[in-house]
Amino acid sequence: MSTLYTDNIRANNASQITVPTGQKIVGTDSASIVAPGHILQVKYAQRTDALSYTTTYVEALSVDITPTSTSSLILIRATTAHWHGTVGQHAAKLVKNSNLLNFEAGDFYHNVGTGVAGNINIQYVDAANTTSLINYKIFVKAESGSGTLNKDYNGALNGVTSLIVM
């Protein structure tokens, strides 16, 4: 096996370099191949069990991701399923490495009233500014009263809460 050392690869008479069918380029670590503008990683967590909460935030889900570049943008999508509970507003917040992300993007409220279930969806784009591991978490609480995540208006367990980080 030969080793080729170069600082630049350029097509000879075309505008592209083709990798033949059945062949692939393999990076040796997480940052060895960079494709600007593309999704390089997807990390996912889901919760299908019930999570009871009151007026103090409790962690619902957590996902770790390690950006390949300090200029990486991270798309976070969180969905909390079926807030079943007593009268009051219910909240979800998105946290990055123990710090609350932008208040408007990370703290949503849904008034669910007695016996009515609600969902909260959060989408947020975060600048990585690091190549070190980043931890994202979603927390839930009731503004008053109590609730249970992933239960419908009848109290049946049938929801899925998810956190996707790309």
Q: Are strands 134-142 and 89-96 parallel, antiparallel or unpaired?
A: antiparallel
- More confident site: 6 or 59: 59
Tokens 């570049």, residue located:
69
Reported as a single tens digit per residue, the pLDDT across 14-58 is: 788 888 899 988 888 766 777 778 888 999 999 999 999 888 999
Tokens 């619902």, residue located:
60
Assign 3-class secondary structure to 52-108: EECCCCEEEEEEEECCCCCCCEEEEEEEECCCEECCCEEEEEEEECCEECCHHHHEE
Q: Judge whether residue 146 has pLDDT over 90.
A: no
- More confident site: 16 or 77: 77
Residue 107 confidence (pLDDT): 43
pTM for the full model?
0.77
What's the rounded Cα separation, in Å, for the pair 9 and 158?
A: 53
Residue 106 confidence (pLDDT): 38
Q: Are strands 84-85 and 147-149 parallel, antiparallel or unpaired?
A: antiparallel
Q: Where is 165: in which H helix or E strand?
A: strand 161-165
- Tell whether the torsion through CA atoms of 100, 62, 91 and 81 is positive or negative: positive
Contacts of 158 (CB under 8 A, 6+ apart): 82, 150, 151, 152
